[in-house]
Amino acid sequence: MGLWKPDPSFYPSAKMAMQAPPERHAYVAALNYGRNDQPDGICVVDLDPDSASYGTVLTTLELPNVGDELHHFGWNACSSALCPFAPHPHLERRYLVVPGIRSSRLYIVDTKPDPTKPHIAKIIEPEEVIEKSGYSRPHTVHCGPDAIYVSAMGSTDEDGPGGIFMLDHFSFEVKGPWEIDRGDQELAYDFWWHLAEDVLVSSEWAKPHQFENGLVPEDLLANKYGHRLHFWDLRKRKRVQTIDLGAQHQMVLELRPAHDPRKTYGFAGVVISTADLSASIWLWQRSDKDGQWTMDKVITIPAVPAEESALPPALKPFGAVPPLVSDIDLSLDDRFLYVSCWGTGELHQYDVSDPLNPKLAGKVAIGGIVNKAPHPKSDGPLLGGPQMVEISRDGKRVYFTNSLYSTWDDQFYPEKMGGWMVKVNVQPDGGMALDPGFFVDFGDTRVHQIRLEGGDSSTDSFCYPS
C-alpha cells in the first residue's frame, strides 16, 4: 500500500480518469468449458502499439481446476476508494476477483509484482462461497466504497433467488448476502449504482436451469426469462422500486449508469423481444417531481430477415437473425454508448449526449450468424460476434471479444466457434473503425470479459462530479 500517494489509478471524477495514460495490457477471461479438458484461464494481451508483441497473448494464467467457466470479473479496488464517507485511498488496484459462474469458485488473482505475470493469491472454494454468501453462480464484480460486491445467479438451493453478496476489501472473506429486504426480486444478473444517490440498480437474466445447459426455447417463448429492473436503497439494502419492461422484453442484462454522479440516468440492454426478435436499449431516469424512477425504450434494433438454410436449428423457424444485444458500455464522458449485436455481428456506437434521443454515430461489422464477416487479419470468415465490450478510459479505443456463454455459443454458432479479440479506433466526435493490425486469435479457447490495465469504463465508480 502506498504511504504518500493514493493508487495512481484512482481518480476523484470520471473526467479526471479520462486523462489517464493509455492501457498497455488487458486481462481477458479465457474459457475451455465443455470443449476440452483444459482449465479456464486469464490471458494477458499486449495492447502497447510500440511493443514488439503488440496484439498477442503475453502469458496465460492457467487455473488449477477444470470447469469453472469464467465469465465476468473485476478489480478489488477502484476510484470508489476515494469516496468521502469511507475513504481508503491507499488500497491498491492490484487483485482481480474472478468468479467461476459454473463452479461457484472465486479466485483472487494478484497482478503484482509483474502485471504481465498474474498469479493466484487466494482461492475461495465453492462450498465456502455458497455457505457464507447464501448464493451460487457468482457473476458480476464491482468494487464498492465499503466492500467488494458480487452478483450471483443462483441460491444455495435450486429454486431460491439470485442476488448480491459482499467480500471484505482486505481479506477477501465472504461477508454474506447484501440484501436485507428483496421484495419479490427472484432473478439476478448485473447490478451497478448511483453512489451519490445511494441507489443500486439490478437486472434480471434467468435461473441457473434456464441457462446452464443452453437457452431454453420454451421458456423464452413463454416469456419466462427476466424482464424487470430493480432499484434499491444502497444504505438500507432494501428494494424500493421495480419496473417491468413488459414480458416480451426478455433478458435485461447489462446496466450502465452515467459515470458523473450528478446525472441520475443510465442504460439497460434487452437481449430480445419475443414479439419481433428485436433488441432494445432502455433509459432509466429519476423524476424530479416524486423521485420515482421511470424507464423509456430509447433504441430499437430490428431483426434481419435471413434464408432458413443460413440459420442454426434454433433460429430456423423464425427466418430472421435477431441482433441479440448482449453487452453495452458507456464511455467515461457519458457521451458514447457502445452496443454489441452478437447475433447480427455488429458493434453500434450511439451518441447519447441527449440520453432520451440517442443517435447512431458509428458501426463496425464482424462475425455474425449469417454474415460471418472476417477481420483483415483473420483466416477467412469469423464465428461469434461483438460481445463483451471494453472502452479505454480516454474513450479513444474499444476492445471486444466474441464469446457469450459456452452452451449458448454452441446453439447460435454451432460450427465450432473459437475465440478472438479485436480493437476499434474511435474518432473524437463519433465514428469508428476496426484496427486492421489488431486481431488476437485464441484458437479453440473462447474469450469473454476484458479488463484493462489501470481501469476501464465499466469498473470504476466515482463519488465526485465531473
Partner 1 sequence: MGQDVIVSIVPWLAMLGFGAFHGLNPGMGWLFALSLGLQQQRERVIWLSLLPIAAGHALAIALAAMLVLFGTKVISLPALQWLTAGLLLAFGLYKLFNYYRHPRWVGMKVGLGDLFLWSFLMATAHGAGLMVLPALIGVAGGDVGHAGHGEHASHLGASGVNMLLAVILHTGAMLLVMGGTAWIVYRKFGLAILRRHWINFDLIWAIALLIAAAVAAMMAL
DSSP letters spanning 147-216: SEEEEEEEESSTTSPPEEEEE-TTT--EEEE--SB-TT------EEEEGGGTEEEEE----GGGTTTS--
Residue whose grid cell is 424512477: 293
Q: Give the CA distances from residue 332 to residues 62, 82, 391, in Å, rounded to whole numbers and listed in that order.
A: 32, 17, 9
The least distance separating partner 1 from the CB of residue 45, rounded to whole angstroms, comes to 27
Residue whose grid cell is 462530479: 465
Query: By CB under 8 A, is residue 55 in contact with partner 1?
Result: no
Rounded to whole angstroms, how far apart are CA atoms 399 and 404?
15
Given 37, 52, 84, 415, the residue binding partner 1 (CB under 8 A): 84
The least distance separating partner 1 from the CB of residue 143, rounded to whole angstroms, comes to 14
Nearer to partner 1, 90 or 377 (CB): 90
Q: Please report the sign of the dihedral spanned by the C-alpha atoms of residue 438, residue 391, residue 384, residue 34.
A: positive
Q: Write phi, then psi, for 386 (nearest 5 degrees).
A: -55, 130
Given 86, 221, 275, 310, the residue binding partner 1 (CB under 8 A): 86
Rounded to whole angstroms, how far apart are CA atoms 89 and 5?
8
Given 24, 90, 224, 286, the residue binding partner 1 (CB under 8 A): 90
Given 18, 91, 330, 383, the residue binding partner 1 (CB under 8 A): 91
Number of shown-chain residues binding partner 1 (CB under 8 A): 36
Cell representation of residue 415: 460450427
Nearer to partner 1, 195 or 339 (CB): 195
Q: 114 CB contacts (<8 Å, ≥6 apart)?
A: none
Query: By CB under 8 A, is residue 1 in contact with partner 1?
Result: yes
**Contact pattern from residue 262 through residue 281 relative to partner 1, giving x for each residue in contact according to CB under 8 A and a dash for the rest:** x-------------------
**Contact pattern from residue 156 through residue 195 relative to partner 1, giving x for each residue in contact according to CB under 8 A and a dash for the rest:** --------------x------------------------x
Number of other residues whose CB lies within 10 A of the CB of residue 433: 12
Q: Which stretch binds partner 1 (CB under 8 A): 82-90, 276-284, 352-360, 388-396?
A: 82-90
Nearer to partner 1, 194 or 227 (CB): 194
Name residue 17's amino acid.
A
Return the residues of window 195-214 that contact partner 1 according to CB under 8 A: 195-198
**Contact pattern from residue 14 through residue 33 relative to partner 1, giving x for each residue in contact according to CB under 8 A and a dash for the rest:** --x-----------------
Q: Which stretch binds partner 1 (CB under 8 A): 5-13, 55-63, 345-353, 363-371?
A: 5-13
Query: By CB under 8 A, is residue 146 in contact with partner 1?
Result: yes
Query: By CB under 8 A, is residue 52 in contact with partner 1?
Result: no
Q: Is 218 helix (H, G, I), strand (E, B) or coil?
A: helix
The least distance separating partner 1 from the CB of residue 175, rounded to whole angstroms, comes to 10
Given 88, 238, 335, 377, the residue binding partner 1 (CB under 8 A): 88
Cell representation of residue 183: 421484495
Rounded to whole angstroms, how far apart are CA atoms 401 and 115?
21
Query: By CB under 8 A, is residue 89 in contact with partner 1?
Result: yes
The least distance separating partner 1 from the CB of residue 178, rounded to whole angstroms, comes to 12
What burial class does residue 299 get, using C-beta atoms within 10 Å of its C-beta: 0-12 exposed, 13-18 middle, 19+ buried? buried
- Positions touching partner 1 (CB under 8 A) are 1-6, 8, 10-13, 16, 82-91, 146-147, 170, 195-198, 234-235, 261-262, 463-465
